[in-house]
Amino acid sequence: MIGKTRVNIAKAGASSLTEAVCFREEAKKSGKTFVLTNGCYDLLHYGHVSSLTQASKLGDYLWVAMNSDSSVRNLKGKHRPIISERERAYLLMSLSCVSGVTLFENERLVQEILALQPDVYVKSGDYSKDSINKAEKEALHAVKASIQFVPFVEGTSTTTLIERIQSLPANTRP
């Protein structure tokens, strides 16, 4: 699997955590840097792609832990996600900077951090070391991951995008 830098989800959907751990172990054996980031990616937009592109520059492989549909609903409300987890994973895997995608069910990424043991963990600049969830931060310290931040593109959140679409007159909406 490591010979190819990407995992094909077109047929199989997002990689399981077990598959992601195997990929990570092969990367480690090869002396490659494994970067982990996470998010909902409900409506993939410029801010997401910018953050992912910047995150990918921090190592050899960028792995995305993506919130499952049920996890997004718990975090964002009953009308989200707008795009299904399979479609969101496919969109993320279509980006050349993304090596793999794994779904996670919980609101927090502790189990995945401990299993994947990333070399680098990346969040957008709208976060800080103080605003990262305490349990996630403890897991990152336990696996000795470097915590990095990439620039946040103002005005590009999914919520802002949804609000802009909803504010359009009904006859001009896409």
Q: How many CB atoms lie within 10 A of CB 43?
A: 18
> Which pLDDT belongs to residue 161?
75
First vs last Cα of the chain: how many Å apart? Answer: 40
Kindly report the CATH class assigned to 9-172. Answer: alpha beta
Residues 105-144 have pLDDT tens digits of 988 999 999 999 999 999 998 888 999 999 999 999 999 9
Please check the confidence at residue 20 and state whether its pLDDT lies above 70: yes
Domain definitions of the chain by residue range: 9-172
**DSSP-H helix ranges across the chain:** 9-12, 17-29, 46-56, 69-76, 85-93, 110-116, 134-142, 158-167
**Model confidence at 13: pLDDT above 70:** no
User: How far apart are alpha carbons 156 and 160 in whole angstroms?
Assistant: 7
Indicate the range of 68-82, 127-141, 151-165 predicted with least confidence: 151-165
Q: What contacts 95, CB < 8 A, 6 or more positions away?
A: 49, 52, 53
